[in-house]
C-alpha cells in the first residue's frame, strides 16, 4: 500500500472546561471521521475529495462550530466561511458570510471548479448557491438553542467570543478542518467555520482566507488552522508554515514548532493548526490548552487527541 496521511481538527481552546462526557463526544466524532477519511484514502480517493468529505461530516455534526451548530453573529444569524485548496494545482475556492448552504465547504469547492474566481461573499455567494442548486437549509437548521444561549450570554458580557475562548465558560466549540496526503503524493486542505459568537455583521475570519487559515501546495505543505481568526490573518500563518517547509527545508515537526513560536511571539496568537508536509509527515501546533484533532498514517492506527 502506498503512503498516505490524514489529519483533521474540530477546534481548539480551554478544553478542560468540558465534562468528561462532552470530551468523549468530541473524540467519538473525530474517530468516526478519521476512520472514514482513511478508508477514502485507502480506496485511492484524491486528497481534495477526502478533505471535502471529512469537512462535510464535521459540518454536519452540531457539536462543532461549522455548518449546523455554527455560532451566531450580533444579529443572531449564522454567517459561515470556508475554503479549500488543491496542493497539486494550487487551485482554490473560498466563500464567506453565507447563511443558507448546508455545507459551505462544498460551495468553496464549486467556486473553485465552476467560476474563474476564487472568493465569493454574502449575496453573490447566495446567488451562486441557488444557481448551482447546492443543498440549502433554513435558518432553523443552523441556529441551535445552545448557540442562542451563548449569544445572549456574550452580549450581556459585552464581548465577542471565540467559540472556544480561553477563560470564558462555553458550551460548544470548533472550527473544523482537514489536511490529506493521498497515495498519489498530492496534498489538499479544507477549513470551515461559523466564526465568533457576537461577531459584527460582515466580519470574515481566517478560515476563508487562503494563506491565513488554509493553504496547500505540493511543494511545501497543507495546513488548516483554528482559533482567533484575526491573529492568523495578521500572521498569514498557514503560508508561513508552508514557507518554513519549502524555503527552510524543515520537516513538519520543526516547521510546526517554529510557526507556533512566531504566532505566539509576534501576534500573541490564540489557536492551533494541523499540517502535513510535502513528504507526508504530520505536524501540529497550539497556543491554547487543547486542540481537538485526529490523525492517521498508512500502516498506523488512528490517534484522536484533545490536549498537548
How many residues bind to ligand GLY according to rule CB under 6 A?
Answer: 12
Residue from 37, 177, 205, 269 binding ligand GLY (CB under 6 A): 205
| 193 scored as a contact of ligand GLY (CB under 6 A) | yes
CA 82 to chain centre: 8
| 207 scored as a contact of ligand GLY (CB under 6 A) | yes
Residue from 100, 103, 197, 226 binding ligand GLY (CB under 6 A): 226
Count CB-CB contacts under 10 A for residue 288.
23
CB 33 within 8 A of CB 57: yes
Q: Site mask, ligand GLY, residues 124-163, x = CB under 6 A?
A: ----------------------------------------
| 214 scored as a contact of ligand GLY (CB under 6 A) | no
Q: Active site residue: 92, 106, 175, 260, which one? A: 175
Instruction: Reply yes or no on whether 175 is catalytic.
Output: yes
Q: Measured from the CB of residue 43, what is the shortest distance to ligand GLY in angstroms?
A: 31
- d(CA 194, CA 41) in angstroms, rounded, equals 27
| 195 scored as a contact of ligand GLY (CB under 6 A) | yes
What own/partner pairs with CB < 8 Å and gap ≥ 24 does 34-40 have? Answer: 34/6, 34/8, 34/294, 34/295, 34/296, 34/302, 34/304, 35/296, 35/302, 37/6, 37/8, 37/178, 37/180, 37/296, 38/4, 38/6, 38/296, 38/302
Q: Site mask, ligand GLY, residues 260-279, x = CB under 6 A?
A: --------------------
Burial class (CB in 10 A: 0-12, 13-18, 19+), 123: exposed
Quickly tell me which residue has 481566517 as its cell. 206
Residue from 93, 97, 227, 269 binding ligand GLY (CB under 6 A): 227
Residue 195 makes CB contacts below 8 A (sequence gap 6+) with 65, 70, 71, 73, 79, 80, 81, 163, 203, 204, 205, 207, 229
Q: Measured from the CB of residue 61, what is the shortest distance to ligand GLY in angstroms?
A: 17
Which residues partner with 80 through β-bridges? Answer: 98
Residue from 182, 206, 217, 284 binding ligand GLY (CB under 6 A): 206
Q: Measured from the CB of residue 229, what is the shortest distance to ligand GLY in angstroms?
A: 2
- d(CA 40, CA 101) in angstroms, rounded, equals 24
| 10 scored as a contact of ligand GLY (CB under 6 A) | no
Q: Measured from the CB of residue 245, what is the shortest distance to ligand GLY in angstroms?
A: 22
Residue from 54, 72, 196, 252 binding ligand GLY (CB under 6 A): 196
Site stretch for ligand GLY (CB under 6 A), options 108-116, 142-150, 153-161, 188-196: 188-196
Q: Measured from the CB of residue 301, what is the shortest distance to ligand GLY in angstroms?
A: 29
Q: Measured from the CB of residue 81, what is the shortest distance to ligand GLY in angstroms?
A: 6
- d(CA 182, CA 187) in angstroms, rounded, equals 7
Q: Site mask, ligand GLY, residues 44-73, x = CB under 6 A?
A: ------------------------------
**Active-site residue numbers?**
175
In the complex, the residues that contact ligand GLY under the rule CB under 6 A are 175, 193, 195-196, 205-207, 213, 226-229
Amino acid at each position: 500500500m502506498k503512503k498516505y496521511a490524514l489529519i483533521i481538527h474540530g477546534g481548539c481552546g480551554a478544553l478542560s472546561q468540558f465534562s468528561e462526557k462532552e470530551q468523549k463526544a468530541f473524540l467519538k466524532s473525530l474517530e468516526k471521521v478519521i476512520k472514514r477519511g482513511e478508508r477514502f484514502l485507502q480506496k485511492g480517493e484524491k486528497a481534495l475529495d477526502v478533505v471535502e468529505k471529512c469537512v462535510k461530516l464535521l459540518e454536519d455534526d452540531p457539536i462543532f462550530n461549522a455548518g449546523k451548530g455554527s455560532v451566531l453573529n450580533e444579529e443572531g444569524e449564522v454567517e459561515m466561511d470556508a475554503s479549500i485548496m488543491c496542493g497539486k494545482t494550487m487551485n482554490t475556492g473560498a466563500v464567506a458570510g453565507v447563511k443558507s448552504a448546508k455545507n459551505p465547504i462544498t460551495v468553496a469547492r464549486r467556486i473553485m471548479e465552476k467560476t474563474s474566481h476564487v472568493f465569493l461573499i454574502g449575496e453573490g455567494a447566495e446567488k451562486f448557491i441557488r444557481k448551482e442548486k447546492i443543498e440549502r437549509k433554513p435558518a432553523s437548521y443552523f441556529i441551535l438553542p445552545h448557540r442562542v444561549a451563548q449569544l445572549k450570554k456574550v452580549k450581556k458580557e459585552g464581548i465577542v467570543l471565540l467559540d472556544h475562548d480561553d477563560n470564558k465558560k462555553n458550551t460548544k466549540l470548533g472550527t473544523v478542518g482537514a489536511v490529506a496526503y493521498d497515495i498519489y503524493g498530492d496534498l489538499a486542505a479544507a477549513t470551515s467555520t461559523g466564526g465568533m459568537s457576537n461577531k459584527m455583521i460582515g466580519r470574515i475570519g481566517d478560515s476563508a482566507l487562503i494563506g491565513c487559515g488554509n493553504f496547500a501546495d505540493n511543494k511545501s505543505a497543507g495546513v488548516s488552522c483554528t482559533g482567533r481568526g484575526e491573529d492568523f490573518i495578521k500572521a498569514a500563518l498557514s503560508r508561513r508554515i508552508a514557507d518554513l517547509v519549502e524555503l527552510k527545508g524543515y520537516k513538519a515537526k520543526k516547521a510546526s514548532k517554529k510557526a507556533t513560536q512566531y504566532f505566539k511571539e509576534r501576534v500573541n496568537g490564540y489557536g492551533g493548526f494541523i499540517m502535513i508536509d510535502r513528504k507526508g509527515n504530520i505536524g501540529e501546533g497550539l497556543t491554547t490548552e487543547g486542540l481537538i484533532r485526529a490523525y492517521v498514517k498508512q500502516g498506523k492506527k488512528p490517534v484522536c487527541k484533545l490536549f498537548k
